[in-house]
């Protein structure tokens, strides 16, 4: 089956530092990946759509300069949380779109970010 990995699985950083999260499609190529944020006991909220070779499309209310997305290859998208603050602490989940008959999104295991 299609597998998506995320690295790191968890990270703790100091306020003001930047953190990069990687999302990889391990056994398929994905021109489109998505980044979600999930607060405790809440649903997934789409942050942005990452398109290989072009700029990401951000959802309303998501600061593009705060959450930098790079999709430089067909198997890798990165999310960089710049100048992180405690309110950025959350669970970040990516998904990769597998094209074909049904165009299914496959999800990564998520990355827990804690900003001190």
Partner 1 sequence: AQRVTQPEKLLSVFKGAPVELKCNYSYSGSPELFWYVQYSRQRLQLLLRHISRESIKGFTADLNKGETSFHLKKPFAQEEDSAMYYCALSGGSGGSNYKLTFGKGTLLTVNP
Binding residues vs partner 1 (CB under 8 A): 32, 34, 42-46, 49, 57, 93, 95, 97, 102-105, 107-110
Shortest approach of partner 1 to residue 79 CB, angstroms? Answer: 16
Q: Which is nearer to partner 1, 105 or 114 (CB)?
A: 105
C-beta of residue 58 within 8 angstroms of C-beta of residue 96: no
Separation between Cα atoms, residue 93 and residue 110, nearest integer Å? 4
Residue among 109, 107, 111 nearest 89 (CA)? 111
CB of 31 to partner 1, least distance (A): 10
Does residue 110 contact residue 10 with C-beta atoms inside 8 Å?
no
For the CB of residue 98, give the shortest distance to partner 1 in the complex, in Å.
11
Give the residue among 38, 49, 48, 11 at the shortest CA–CA distance from 93: 38
Helix runs in 12-104, H state only = none
Structure tokens at 97: 């779109």
Closer Cβ to partner 1, 49 or 70, answer by number: 49
Pick 84 or 94: Cβ nearer partner 1: 94
**Min CB(7)–partner 1 separation in Å:** 14
């Amino acid at each position: 089956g299609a597998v998506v990995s995320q690295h790191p699985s968890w990270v703790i950083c100091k306020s003001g530092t930047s953190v990069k999260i990687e999302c990889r499609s391990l056994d398929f190529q994905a021109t489109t990946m998505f980044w979600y944020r999930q607060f405790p006991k809440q649903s997934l909220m789409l942050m942005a759509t990452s398109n290989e070779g072009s700029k990401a499309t951000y959802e309303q209310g998501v600061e593009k300069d705060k959450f930098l997305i790079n999709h430089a290859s067909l198997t890798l998208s990165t999310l960089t949380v710049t100048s992180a603050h405690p309110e950025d602490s959350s669970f970040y989940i990516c998904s990769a779109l597998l094209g074909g008959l049904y165009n299914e999104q496959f999800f990564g295991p998520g990355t827990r970010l804690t900003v001190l």
